Chain A
Amino acid sequence: MAKVTPDGVRKLAALAHLALTDEESVALTSDLERILEYAESLKSVDTEAIEPTSHALLEKGLEGEGSSREDEPRPGLDRERLFELAPDAGDGLFKVPRVLP
């Protein structure tokens, strides 16, 4: 079974853009350990020659014909209205902290 450590959790957190507190890292490490231990039971299932399912209806051919339509431009949501929702925007741009030195 995969070993989960507080260090490993901190690395995962960095990948997921989460700045965890030390208390959270410790608590979440033991949560993840328990959940993954429970999930170990999957290893006992024989899945030889079984295809993975990413979408329950794809193989049944029941999904909508809309799943691939022509890629044509059409009106979207109002730009100004969307910028109003941003924490910081201006000049038709979303503003973020400076990313260049």
Chain B
Amino acid sequence: VSLWELALRPLRDRLVEGSLSAEETARAFLERIARMDSELGAFLATFADSAIVRARFLDGLPRDERGPLHGVPIAVKDIISVEGTRTTAGSRILEGYVAPYNATAIERLDAAGAVILGKTNCDEFAMGSSTENSAFQITRNPWRLDRVPGGSSGGSAAAVAAGLSPAALGTDTGGSIRQPAALCGVVGLKPTYGRVSRYGLVAFASSFDQIGPLTRTAEDAALLLESLAGADSRDSTCSTLPVPRYTEEIGRDVRPLRIGVPRDVLGEGIDGSVLLSFEKTAEEFERLGVGTEEVSLPASKHAIACYYLLVTAEASSNLARFDGVRYGLRTKASGLHDLHDLHKMMSATREKGFGREVKRRILLGTFVLSAGYYDAYYEKAQKVRSLVARDFARAFERVDAVLLPTTPEPAFPIGAKSEDPLSMYLGDVFTTTANLAGLPAVSFPAGFDPEGLPIGVQLLGRHFEEGTILRLAHAFQQATDHHRKRPERAS
């Protein structure tokens, strides 16, 4: 078995016991990125030199000082700050910006012994579902190069699917970890809102954003979450609840658990092979001794409208900080002599620095927050958000997890939706509810369509019960092979 074929857990075990060095591991993945990524475009930057230096340091550590992620290479979505390196968030407006500090998630990975390979491509400010909104490059799906990898964490998903990294960090505001994970045939975990610190994450919609792992297996997601999760005084929304031993929880018996199946949300426009994989997954859980029952999520049909009104409002406020004054791009306009000219500089900078989708969302957010529309749109959406959460709370009185498709269709062709924002938004039909309600959700491979494109399903759990949904996904992966299949070009 080649190094790149190993999941994170077995790789980590070899690194800790010393049968494999961190340096040869880092070199193997860096070499593979150099050889394969020109075709995929998953990475915006690689840290060849610093990764080797770091790996050598780790190789020198005695066994009892080796962390839970000792020597494991990890790729990081380029919206998470890594000190001393460019952090672009996929945007021209952060041109020249070098992060002056590490995100808490990066500090945690460092402390656990991980080696950061590089930064992965994403939609600008994580706004998109195809990674086509990156200002720098498109990323291709390793399963079929004419397809999108999903987004916004498309670079991270493509990197893991192609074996360019055993794991990656992504961020999920309305599905940006789970949707690309589904489209690329890997596992993607969005933790409970507040489980992982957002310090050092470039903010899109602060009451929705969460950092989480993309991996090959649920077990690997559990291993990474154990290191990433936990209180942080620099993020006041980060929970102080103790972090469970997820890697132990996933091994427990799944038979006492029950799964809710909300068939009322499976309306029209869902691909036949997605529905088939979904039903087969429910049957597989029955075989594993997990009871399933119908649950109802009536407010979910309003989730997309609700989500896009709220996140654009938060984004219009968050993105006000990019004004050409403190960091990033500044457009030089001539003859600046008064306050009017200061505003002209800011407007010109933002006009040049932001892409079309970001402008669209800033305008929509400014609209829904403006006097006269606030009640009808913004506050109304906040109330519907309460109803979405209430549906899940009701379901979780009877079941421990809710099963949903991750996406209505497998990976779509590059360019198919980039000119039609609404059709792109509608693809988020199954993912935004977890963010609206702050719930943890894990997407995992559940089958393939007739063309061989991967299909994902997701399990949503109660707040802070990542251990339960990971346990179910782990049991499913022990019993099935979908996650073991690799794209041909990766072999």
Is B232 interfacial (CB-CB < 8 Å)? yes
Taking CB atoms, residues of chain A closer than 8 Å to B324 are: 87
Is B338 interfacial (CB-CB < 8 Å)? yes
CA of A51 to CA of B385 in the docked complex: distance in angstroms? Answer: 9
Is B97 interfacial (CB-CB < 8 Å)? yes
Q: Please determine whether B359 and A86 come into contact, CB atoms closer than 8 angstroms.
A: no
Q: Please determine whether A82 and B100 come into contact, CB atoms closer than 8 angstroms.
A: yes
CA of A21 to CA of B425 in the docked complex: distance in angstroms? Answer: 24
Taking CB atoms, residues of chain A closer than 8 Å to B373 are: 2
Report the interface size for chain A: residues with CB under 8 A from the other chain.
60
CA of A93 to CA of B463 in the docked complex: distance in angstroms? Answer: 44
What are the interface flags for A82-93 relative to B under an 8 Å C-beta threshold, 1 for contact and 0 otherwise?
100111100000
CA of A52 to CA of B421 in the docked complex: distance in angstroms? Answer: 27
Q: Please determine whether A28 and B240 come into contact, CB atoms closer than 8 angstroms.
A: no
Please report which residues of chain A, range 55-101, place their CB below 8 angstroms from some CB of chain B when the two chains form the complex.
Answer: 55-57, 60, 62-69, 77-78, 81-82, 85-88, 94, 96-101
CA of A94 to CA of B346 in the docked complex: distance in angstroms? Answer: 14
Please report which residues of chain A, range 17-32, place their CB below 8 angstroms from some CB of chain B when the two chains form the complex.
Answer: 17-21, 24, 27-28, 31-32
> Which residue of chain B has the shortest Cβ distance to A87 in the bound complex?
B330
Q: Please determine whether A12 and B370 come into contact, CB atoms closer than 8 angstroms.
A: yes
Q: Please determine whether B240 and A85 come into contact, CB atoms closer than 8 angstroms.
A: no
Interface size of B as a range = 35 or more
Q: Please determine whether B389 and A12 come into contact, CB atoms closer than 8 angstroms.
A: no
Known A53-B389, A94-B325: A101·B338 in contact at CB below 8 Å = yes
Q: Please determine whether B385 and A53 come into contact, CB atoms closer than 8 angstroms.
A: yes
Measured CB to CB, the closest approach of chain B to A7, in angstroms, equals 13
Known A63-B237, A64-B237: A52·B379 in contact at CB below 8 Å = yes
Q: Please determine whether B231 and A99 come into contact, CB atoms closer than 8 angstroms.
A: no
Q: Please determine whether A9 and B382 come into contact, CB atoms closer than 8 angstroms.
A: no
Is B117 interfacial (CB-CB < 8 Å)? no
Q: Please determine whether B326 and A20 come into contact, CB atoms closer than 8 angstroms.
A: no
Q: Please determine whether A98 and B336 come into contact, CB atoms closer than 8 angstroms.
A: yes
Is B282 interfacial (CB-CB < 8 Å)? no
Q: Please determine whether B238 and A64 come into contact, CB atoms closer than 8 angstroms.
A: yes
Secondary structure dominating the interface of A: loop
> Which residue of chain B has the shortest Cβ distance to A50 in the bound complex?
B383
Is B266 interfacial (CB-CB < 8 Å)? no
Please report which residues of chain B, range 367-387, place their CB below 8 angstroms from some CB of chain A when the two chains form the complex.
Answer: 367, 370, 373, 376-377, 379-387
Q: Please determine whether B207 and A20 come into contact, CB atoms closer than 8 angstroms.
A: no
Measured CB to CB, the closest approach of chain B to A53, in angstroms, equals 4
Q: Please determine whether A88 and B236 come into contact, CB atoms closer than 8 angstroms.
A: no
Please report which residues of chain B, range 306-363, place their CB below 8 angstroms from some CB of chain A when the two chains form the complex.
Answer: 306, 308-309, 316, 320, 323-330, 333, 336-339, 341-348, 350-351, 354, 356, 359-360, 362-363
Of A35, A36, A56, most buried by chain B (CB within 10 Å of CB) is: A56
Partner pick for A98 among B233, B327, B338, B356, CB 8 A cutoff:
B338
Q: Please determine whether A81 and B385 come into contact, CB atoms closer than 8 angstroms.
A: no
> Which residue of chain A has the shortest Cβ distance to B348 in the bound complex?
A19
Q: Please determine whether A85 and B366 come into contact, CB atoms closer than 8 angstroms.
A: no
Q: Please determine whether A18 and B325 come into contact, CB atoms closer than 8 angstroms.
A: no
Known: A39-B308, A50-B387, A87-B330. 11 other contacts (CB 8 A): A16-B363, A19-B350, A20-B359, A32-B363, A32-B364, A32-B367, A35-B364, A35-B425, A52-B385, A86-B326, A98-B341
A interface vs B, CB < 8 Å?
Answer: 2, 4, 9, 12-21, 24, 27-28, 31-32, 34-36, 38-39, 41-43, 45, 47, 50-57, 60, 62-69, 77-78, 81-82, 85-88, 94, 96-101
Sorted from nearest, which 4 A-B pairs have the closest CB atoms? Answer: A56-B438, A97-B336, A52-B382, A87-B330
B interface vs A, CB < 8 Å?
Answer: 97-98, 100-101, 192-194, 207, 231-233, 235-241, 299, 301-302, 304-306, 308-309, 316, 320, 323-330, 333, 336-339, 341-348, 350-351, 354, 356, 359-360, 362-364, 366-367, 370, 373, 376-377, 379-387, 389, 421-422, 425, 435-439, 463-464
